[in-house]
Structure 1
Amino acid sequence: MSSEPGPGLPFLPGCAFRDPMKTSFHRSQTLGYKNGFAFSRLPTAGIGGERLYVNQLSQAELDELSKRPMLTYRQAKQAPPSGFIPAHVAFDKKILKFDAYFQEDVPLSAEERYRIRQVAIYYYLEDDSMSVIEPVVQNSGLLQGKLIRRHRVPKNDCGDHYHWKDLNRGMNITMYGRMYRIVDCDPFTQVLRFYAMWDDTDSIFGENRPYIIHYYLADDTVEVREVYKQNDGRDPFPILIKRQRLPKTFVDKKKTFPSCVLEISDQEVLEWYTAKDFAVGKSTTLLGRTFFIYDCDEFTRNFYRDKFGITDFQPVEIKKKPLEEVPQVIPPYNGFGVLEDSLQNCFSLLPKPPRKDVIKMLENDHKVLRYQVALESPNPEDRKRRFILSYFLSNDMISIYEPPVRNSGIIGGKYLGKTRVAKPGSTTENVMYYEPSDLTIGSTIEVFGHRFVITDADEYVLNYMESNAESFPTATLQSLRDHFRPRQVVKETAKSDIPMLGTSDQEMDELIVQVQEELKLHKYLNNKSIREAFLQCDKDGSGILDKAKFLALCDSLSVPTNSFLVNKLIDLCSCGEDKINYRDFLRAFPL
């Protein structure tokens, strides 16, 4: 018995038979999609895939039925057919071929660590699919051939796929965990490359910025890329104009089309940019920005030579406009701190301390030149004041100390902390500081508006300058020699047992008070130990010691004998030939 009802049987209960082998009951689709475009098709089968016993209309018959009826006087106007061509028709059998390679690790080999394998990447424009094929090499021992079959290759985890815009020479592309390096492409995929410059120096903060213009022959699109340099202070966004067709002339000659909202089509543009609009040595305006083309690559030269017969490709030398030198104006010194420290605020946002001469600091550590100075003032009371000026050779700093004097009405103490003192007339650009050569007997030193006259100095100053006579002027050294010559005559007279005249008890008392105030700065001194050491050294209890023995004992007790005041006290305590009355000297070390 047949499983289908006969054509003559009525469709009545009991007259219909089902096929138990039939499992499909869906209707055939009449709408399909290809390359993202919808198109209609006539059904070729009925429900469940059964054959349709009807006459199918041809495409010509369908076109005839779609015609509108004739009007009374003339034929109806028909809209012109659209110029749209589907992608599977326009790009049929059009393929982009790229030459690439990938690196494969070889973990179980002592001869090689990795291999470089060459492949060919094919991009099919009709459906945006890709395939990767490695040329087969005989007896290579590797599985070669088709590495990735033709399909749309996923680009990321968001569902995007690779597009031909993602492929270019010198780029890395990752497909299924393997990175391919694209090194070349076939002639169908080549690009015209121009080197251009955008001159924006007329605007504020403008500059000359280099760019690379790419013109794609495949679809007449243009791309502008910035030349990114390391540490140029700009964000790494290399694409200035994305790849697109650029309009050259609009229909209404107005550029008021809202391109940020709508796409520019052929209805708004009268002429698009083509390859003939780019030439070396000429300027071109792209989206309102003028670029000057000064050079191109070798392929572009060959293309224009073969296509347009152009042979003049002399590169244009780009001359940068010289920057206007803005003079750096350094503000005047405000008087706070050392000049070099304050000057660092003008050179950097985060000031750094100026470099120090470490060798000089180590060689001249604890070397101090001391002078006695008097204040030059119209006030008679200030003329009697005496100060100790100390010059530190390690860092060229100066400090001034005023020894306290009883019943003078002046407190005394530190007058000026350690600092570098500039000479009068010095500027921030040309600073001149006081040096030991400027400190002569009788010279005037101006310290922040106060004038001091040098009246005396330590013998250590003379000894130091004589040992380094090549570093000091002759006039400075001679002034010290002339000052200390009478003192040397007094010493020679003391050696001949002639009592030294001119020394009174009042002068001795005033000097001892000054020495006591200076020794307070040396907190390491122990007066009790010093007195006991001198008493133990004096076996006969005469109160007189040899000068050499006395100085050796002072050095062992760290007594600052090179100080001007202490040295002066030693001279006053001298008696006879190389003898020192240490009891008068111990008056400066009370218990």
Structure 2
Amino acid sequence: MMSNKVHGLPFLPGFSFSDLTKSAFHRSQTMGYRNGYAYSRNPTVGIGGGRLYANQLSQADVDELANKRPTVTYEEPKQVPPPDFIPAHVAFDKKVLKFDAYFQEEVPLSTEEHYRIRKVVIYYYLEDDSMSVMEPIVENSGIPQGKFIKRQRLPKNDRGDHYHWKDLNRGINLPIYGKTFRVVDCDSFTQVFLESQGIELNPPEQMALDPYTELRKKPLRMYVTPSDFDQFKQFLAFDKKVLRFYSIWDDTDSMFGETRAYIIHYYLADDTVEVLEVYERNDGRDPFPVLVKRQRLPKVLVNNSEGFPRCVLEISDQDVLEWFTAKDFAVGQPVTILGRTFFIYDCDKFTREFYRDKFGIPEFSRIDVSKKPPPVIKQELPPYNGFGFIEDSAQNCFTLIPKTPKRDILRMLTDDQTVLRYMAVLESPIPEDRGRYFILSYYLATEMVTIFEPPVRNSGFFGGKYLGKTKIAKPGSCIDKPTFYGPGDFYIGALIEVFGHRFIIQDADEFVLKFLESNASNYPPSTIESLKNHFLKQKPTTPESDGGLTTDSKEGNDLETLIKEIQERLKKCSFLVQGSVREAFQILDKNETGYLDREQFFAVCKNFNLPVDDCLINQLIRMCSSGEGKINYYNFLRAFSQ
């Protein structure tokens, strides 16, 4: 009611009244969105949707007031408003660069074409730097065409960079997703845009032509098949006369290829050719009777017959410049039949006679085409790492699951029980090691060596096993092919180096000398001579009435020293059976000479389990031996008495 009464009054102080019935006091919206971007705008209505009585400012005036800076001077110069910000999607909306290009695609399974040229159009959208590749649709092409690469940002390299319009030009190769596109030209808008940006364009190129498409544009020709050759006369003259050639097809250059044998028949009656495959027993192939059926084979076609539809029509004489004849086949020459090359290496007797009478060619000689065995590849073993035996390490290279190395069975049977024993002393600068002696046992069957130290009372050393069974390599030998110590290296005074320890050979069993003499051809003479001289130095003893020994003072001292050393070693042993052993010796010594033959002496020692294999006891036996092959058992028994 109030608003109707005051309507029409001038808008002066005191003449304005507020509407008490008004309930909406919202303000109008001054922010908006356009194409995804926010922008400001002037209000169109007042508070609550009422009419605005003040003069509305334009957007340019609002921007000017926002950018105005107050100064203390009069008549401030009017500032030029900054240019409006225009987004890329607005500035480059519907602006697209267009390039004509092509790429080459291989055609592996076709006799008509080896490759084809596919034309494409590359679009570059400036608003978001995206690209797309379209292939124009060609009628009856048989290829799905249209959108080749959908619109997207295309990667340029592996670092994550993308193609930019600065990278595009005419006459360049553009790799995209494994395919190389050749850019040949662009439209006028693209040329003007790139030149305006300071890019120098390459000259345009001609679009490559597709060879198969150009072949189909050639006009069809009329095929006429006249025949003026008298085939009946040829049939009567050469009926049942066939040339037979033996050939091979070598396909080893291809994957899983092999060499296969074939028989080529040439029928003189009608100049036809037949190819039969030779099958072997259990070759795993289906026995097809014929590879190429009997037919006339073209050798050279006319130039314009490459597109001849052979699948529905037969080739006539007008389409062939030259057919296969008998002169095209010869032993030792290759012949290509329907794309496959056969090498003729032999023929039958009738074929040889025909070529000699018809063409004057001498008799063909057979060519050996048998498979040669492949060259033997020498297996090289990796370097030896020094752990274990070389034979055991080499088994890891021969099989996936290592096996036990093969041993020489004959040697194991003949030399299994053959053991060569030596006595050696340790060469060491340590005073405590002087006087230590060791027993070196060489096992002839396995070429291994063991070292045993006899325990000596109050010596400060435990004695016992010093080195288990192993092969000992000579110092300075190659690691991959080491040279091991053998019986020929163990001579009196020899220096044997065992894993950094040095031993000097001082004595050996008499069996060693006998063994080396029986196999003198296998061992150096110097080793045998060294052992002989060593045993000859041990002078034999002579008997007296009381069974004693007549020796000089030096030998007597050596004998007494040896007996005392043996008694010291056998204190804790169970060999104190001197009375029983003496009775056994005296029973055999009927003449009471104090000497027994070697066989009787060792038989008694064996019955009483005396350690005759010991190095010291063996040396005592040699000192008690005489030149007649007998042994004085009185001095021998002194070593076993306390």
Q: Structure 2 length normalisation: TM-score? A: 0.44
TM-score, normalised relative to structure 1: 0.47
- Which has more radius of gyration? 2
